[in-house]
Amino acid sequence: MLKSAGSRTPSDGGERNRLLRALPSVELRSLRPDLEHIELAHGDVMHAPRELIPFALFPEAGVASVLAVDNAGVGVEVVSVGNEGMVGMSLVHDIASSPHLCIIQVAGHGKRIRGPALARQLPDLPVLQRLLGRYATAMFNEAAQTILCNRRHSIDERCARWLLMTDDRVSGEDFALKQEFLSYMLAARRPSVSRAAARLQRDGLIRYSRGVIRVLDRAGLEAAACECYTITRAANDRLHD
Protein backbone atom coordinates (compact mmCIF):
# COMPACT_ATOMS: atom_id res chain seq x y z
CA MET A 1 0.00 0.00 0.00
CA LEU A 2 1.21 3.50 -0.76
CA LYS A 3 1.97 5.60 2.27
CA SER A 4 2.02 9.35 2.47
CA ALA A 5 5.16 10.74 4.04
CA GLY A 6 3.04 13.48 5.58
CA SER A 7 4.82 16.33 3.82
CA ARG A 8 4.11 17.65 0.36
CA THR A 9 7.68 18.69 -0.43
CA PRO A 10 11.15 17.66 0.77
CA SER A 11 12.47 19.70 3.65
CA ASP A 12 15.25 21.14 1.52
CA GLY A 13 12.79 22.28 -1.18
CA GLY A 14 14.82 20.56 -3.90
CA GLU A 15 13.39 18.40 -6.67
CA ARG A 16 14.86 14.95 -7.24
CA ASN A 17 12.68 14.05 -10.19
CA ARG A 18 14.35 15.35 -13.35
CA LEU A 19 11.09 16.43 -15.02
CA LEU A 20 10.09 18.53 -12.03
CA ARG A 21 13.62 19.88 -11.68
CA ALA A 22 13.52 21.08 -15.30
CA LEU A 23 10.41 23.21 -14.74
CA PRO A 24 10.60 26.99 -14.43
CA SER A 25 9.90 28.20 -10.91
CA VAL A 26 6.48 29.62 -11.82
CA GLU A 27 5.23 26.21 -13.05
CA LEU A 28 6.73 24.36 -10.10
CA ARG A 29 5.08 26.75 -7.64
CA SER A 30 1.75 26.13 -9.35
CA LEU A 31 2.14 22.34 -9.07
CA ARG A 32 3.45 22.11 -5.52
CA PRO A 33 0.14 22.44 -3.64
CA ASP A 34 -1.11 19.34 -5.50
CA LEU A 35 2.07 17.26 -5.12
CA GLU A 36 2.17 14.71 -2.31
CA HIS A 37 5.41 13.06 -1.21
CA ILE A 38 5.01 9.28 -0.82
CA GLU A 39 7.12 6.25 0.04
CA LEU A 40 7.14 3.44 -2.54
CA ALA A 41 7.53 -0.17 -1.42
CA HIS A 42 8.52 -3.08 -3.63
CA GLY A 43 5.38 -4.56 -5.19
CA ASP A 44 3.18 -1.47 -4.78
CA VAL A 45 0.67 -1.27 -7.65
CA MET A 46 0.60 2.14 -9.32
CA HIS A 47 -2.22 1.13 -11.65
CA ALA A 48 -3.85 -2.14 -12.68
CA PRO A 49 -4.89 -3.11 -16.21
CA ARG A 50 -8.09 -1.41 -17.38
CA GLU A 51 -8.69 0.21 -14.00
CA LEU A 52 -8.80 3.91 -13.22
CA ILE A 53 -5.35 5.50 -12.85
CA PRO A 54 -5.79 7.55 -9.66
CA PHE A 55 -2.46 9.38 -9.66
CA ALA A 56 0.42 10.41 -11.84
CA LEU A 57 3.72 9.65 -10.11
CA PHE A 58 7.05 11.46 -10.43
CA PRO A 59 9.61 9.00 -8.98
CA GLU A 60 12.52 10.51 -7.09
CA ALA A 61 14.22 7.24 -6.12
CA GLY A 62 13.46 3.65 -7.02
CA VAL A 63 12.09 2.08 -10.20
CA ALA A 64 8.57 1.46 -11.49
CA SER A 65 7.93 -1.11 -14.21
CA VAL A 66 5.14 -1.06 -16.77
CA LEU A 67 4.18 -4.63 -17.67
CA ALA A 68 2.09 -6.11 -20.45
CA VAL A 69 0.15 -8.95 -18.78
CA ASP A 70 -1.66 -11.85 -20.45
CA ASN A 71 -4.85 -13.58 -19.29
CA ALA A 72 -2.81 -16.03 -17.23
CA GLY A 73 -1.24 -13.17 -15.30
CA VAL A 74 2.20 -13.55 -16.86
CA GLY A 75 3.88 -10.19 -17.40
CA VAL A 76 6.71 -8.84 -19.54
CA GLU A 77 8.23 -5.42 -18.97
CA VAL A 78 7.48 -2.81 -21.62
CA VAL A 79 9.35 0.12 -20.04
CA SER A 80 10.80 1.05 -16.66
CA VAL A 81 10.50 4.48 -15.07
CA GLY A 82 12.86 6.18 -12.65
CA ASN A 83 13.62 9.74 -11.67
CA GLU A 84 13.86 10.75 -15.33
CA GLY A 85 10.13 10.36 -15.95
CA MET A 86 6.53 9.98 -14.86
CA VAL A 87 4.14 7.09 -14.28
CA GLY A 88 0.57 7.50 -15.56
CA MET A 89 1.23 9.00 -18.97
CA SER A 90 -2.26 8.02 -20.15
CA LEU A 91 -3.60 10.83 -17.98
CA VAL A 92 -1.68 13.37 -20.05
CA HIS A 93 -3.66 12.25 -23.09
CA ASP A 94 -7.01 12.39 -21.26
CA ILE A 95 -7.20 8.59 -20.99
CA ALA A 96 -8.17 7.46 -17.51
CA SER A 97 -6.94 3.85 -17.68
CA SER A 98 -4.26 1.67 -19.24
CA PRO A 99 -4.18 -1.94 -20.50
CA HIS A 100 -0.91 -2.40 -18.59
CA LEU A 101 0.08 -3.14 -15.02
CA CYS A 102 2.50 -0.75 -13.30
CA ILE A 103 4.27 -1.87 -10.13
CA ILE A 104 7.22 -0.72 -8.07
CA GLN A 105 10.19 -3.00 -8.74
CA VAL A 106 12.79 -1.16 -6.63
CA ALA A 107 11.58 0.63 -3.50
CA GLY A 108 12.03 4.36 -3.23
CA HIS A 109 9.96 7.52 -2.97
CA GLY A 110 8.41 10.17 -5.18
CA LYS A 111 5.68 12.72 -5.62
CA ARG A 112 2.20 11.99 -6.88
CA ILE A 113 -0.61 14.19 -8.15
CA ARG A 114 -4.24 13.17 -8.53
CA GLY A 115 -5.43 12.72 -12.11
CA PRO A 116 -8.08 15.48 -11.98
CA ALA A 117 -5.56 17.94 -10.49
CA LEU A 118 -3.07 17.18 -13.28
CA ALA A 119 -5.78 17.64 -15.91
CA ARG A 120 -6.76 20.96 -14.37
CA GLN A 121 -3.20 22.27 -14.16
CA LEU A 122 -1.67 20.98 -17.38
CA PRO A 123 -3.18 23.52 -19.84
CA ASP A 124 -1.43 26.32 -17.91
CA LEU A 125 1.96 24.54 -17.75
CA PRO A 126 3.49 24.77 -21.24
CA VAL A 127 6.99 23.63 -20.24
CA LEU A 128 5.64 20.55 -18.47
CA GLN A 129 3.49 19.79 -21.52
CA ARG A 130 6.56 19.97 -23.75
CA LEU A 131 8.65 17.80 -21.41
CA LEU A 132 5.93 15.18 -21.12
CA GLY A 133 5.54 15.12 -24.91
CA ARG A 134 9.27 14.47 -25.24
CA TYR A 135 9.09 11.87 -22.48
CA ALA A 136 6.28 10.03 -24.29
CA THR A 137 8.63 9.73 -27.28
CA ALA A 138 11.45 8.49 -25.02
CA MET A 139 9.12 5.84 -23.55
CA PHE A 140 8.12 4.67 -27.04
CA ASN A 141 11.77 4.46 -28.05
CA GLU A 142 12.64 2.46 -24.93
CA ALA A 143 9.77 0.05 -25.55
CA ALA A 144 10.90 -0.44 -29.17
CA GLN A 145 14.49 -0.97 -28.05
CA THR A 146 13.35 -3.53 -25.50
CA ILE A 147 11.55 -5.54 -28.19
CA LEU A 148 14.73 -5.60 -30.26
CA CYS A 149 16.84 -6.41 -27.22
CA ASN A 150 14.67 -9.36 -26.15
CA ARG A 151 14.74 -10.73 -29.69
CA ARG A 152 18.40 -10.26 -30.61
CA HIS A 153 20.60 -10.21 -27.53
CA SER A 154 21.73 -12.83 -25.04
CA ILE A 155 20.29 -13.15 -21.56
CA ASP A 156 23.65 -12.01 -20.09
CA GLU A 157 23.64 -8.84 -22.22
CA ARG A 158 20.04 -8.08 -21.35
CA CYS A 159 20.64 -8.67 -17.66
CA ALA A 160 23.65 -6.33 -17.69
CA ARG A 161 21.58 -3.70 -19.51
CA TRP A 162 18.73 -3.81 -17.01
CA LEU A 163 21.07 -3.71 -14.02
CA LEU A 164 22.84 -0.66 -15.48
CA MET A 165 19.56 1.16 -16.05
CA THR A 166 18.53 0.41 -12.47
CA ASP A 167 21.93 1.44 -11.12
CA ASP A 168 21.51 4.80 -12.86
CA ARG A 169 18.17 5.32 -11.17
CA VAL A 170 19.36 4.42 -7.65
CA SER A 171 22.58 6.48 -8.03
CA GLY A 172 24.90 3.55 -7.37
CA GLU A 173 23.26 2.37 -4.14
CA ASP A 174 22.39 -1.24 -3.32
CA PHE A 175 18.92 -2.31 -4.45
CA ALA A 176 16.69 -5.27 -3.63
CA LEU A 177 15.47 -7.35 -6.57
CA LYS A 178 13.96 -10.83 -6.60
CA GLN A 179 14.91 -13.14 -9.45
CA GLU A 180 11.22 -13.81 -10.09
CA PHE A 181 10.71 -10.14 -10.95
CA LEU A 182 13.95 -9.90 -12.88
CA SER A 183 12.62 -12.71 -15.08
CA TYR A 184 9.61 -10.51 -15.91
CA MET A 185 11.94 -7.68 -16.81
CA LEU A 186 14.06 -9.83 -19.12
CA ALA A 187 11.25 -11.91 -20.65
CA ALA A 188 13.15 -15.04 -19.64
CA ARG A 189 12.61 -18.05 -17.42
CA ARG A 190 13.82 -17.77 -13.85
CA PRO A 191 16.57 -20.46 -14.14
CA SER A 192 18.07 -18.59 -17.11
CA VAL A 193 18.05 -15.35 -15.15
CA SER A 194 19.68 -17.07 -12.16
CA ARG A 195 22.49 -18.39 -14.34
CA ALA A 196 23.02 -14.98 -15.99
CA ALA A 197 23.22 -13.21 -12.62
CA ALA A 198 25.61 -15.89 -11.35
CA ARG A 199 27.91 -15.37 -14.33
CA LEU A 200 27.97 -11.60 -13.81
CA GLN A 201 28.79 -12.17 -10.15
CA ARG A 202 31.49 -14.73 -10.98
CA ASP A 203 33.10 -12.16 -13.28
CA GLY A 204 33.21 -9.65 -10.43
CA LEU A 205 30.74 -7.23 -12.04
CA ILE A 206 28.02 -7.42 -9.39
CA ARG A 207 27.41 -8.76 -5.91
CA TYR A 208 24.08 -10.53 -5.50
CA SER A 209 23.30 -11.81 -2.01
CA ARG A 210 19.95 -12.43 -0.29
CA GLY A 211 18.11 -10.63 -3.08
CA VAL A 212 20.24 -7.46 -2.83
CA ILE A 213 22.37 -6.29 -5.76
CA ARG A 214 25.36 -3.97 -5.85
CA VAL A 215 27.22 -3.04 -9.02
CA LEU A 216 30.93 -3.56 -8.32
CA ASP A 217 32.50 -2.91 -11.72
CA ARG A 218 30.53 -0.30 -13.65
CA ALA A 219 32.86 -0.25 -16.68
CA GLY A 220 32.90 -4.03 -16.85
CA LEU A 221 29.12 -4.22 -16.67
CA GLU A 222 28.82 -1.68 -19.48
CA ALA A 223 31.19 -3.81 -21.58
CA ALA A 224 29.02 -6.87 -20.87
CA ALA A 225 25.78 -5.11 -21.87
CA CYS A 226 24.42 -4.77 -25.39
CA GLU A 227 24.31 -1.44 -27.22
CA CYS A 228 20.65 -1.02 -26.16
CA TYR A 229 21.80 0.43 -22.84
CA THR A 230 23.74 3.34 -24.34
CA ILE A 231 20.98 4.02 -26.89
CA THR A 232 18.27 4.17 -24.20
CA ARG A 233 20.36 6.21 -21.78
CA ALA A 234 21.27 8.76 -24.46
CA ALA A 235 17.58 9.17 -25.36
CA ASN A 236 16.67 9.75 -21.70
CA ASP A 237 19.49 12.27 -21.26
CA ARG A 238 18.40 14.25 -24.34
CA LEU A 239 14.91 14.50 -22.88
CA HIS A 240 16.13 16.97 -20.25
CA ASP A 241 18.41 19.08 -22.49
pLDDT band at 99 (very low <50, low <70, confident <90, very high): very high
- Long-range contacts for 51-54 (Cβ within 8 Å, ≥24 apart)? 51/97, 52/96, 52/97, 52/115, 53/88, 53/90, 53/91, 53/96, 53/97, 53/98, 53/115, 54/114, 54/115
Please give the average per-residue pLDDT across 3-29, as a whole number. Answer: 72
Domains recognised in the chain with CATH numbers: 3-149 (2.60.120.10), 154-225 (1.10.10.10)
What is the reported pLDDT for 12? Answer: 42
**Residue range 131-166, pLDDT digits in tens:** 999 999 999 998 999 888 888 999 999 999 999 999
The SS3 assignment for 164 reads helix
Radius of gyration of the chain (CA): 18
Please give the average per-residue pLDDT across 115-130, as a whole number. Answer: 97
Please give the average per-residue pLDDT across 176-197, as a whole number. Answer: 79
pLDDT band at 76 (very low <50, low <70, confident <90, very high): confident
**Residue range 27-71, pLDDT digits in tens:** 999 999 999 999 999 999 999 999 999 999 999 999 999 999 888
182: Cβ–Cβ under 8 A, 6 or more apart, which residues? 159, 162, 193, 197
What is the reported pLDDT for 10? Answer: 39
pLDDT for 9 beyond 80: no
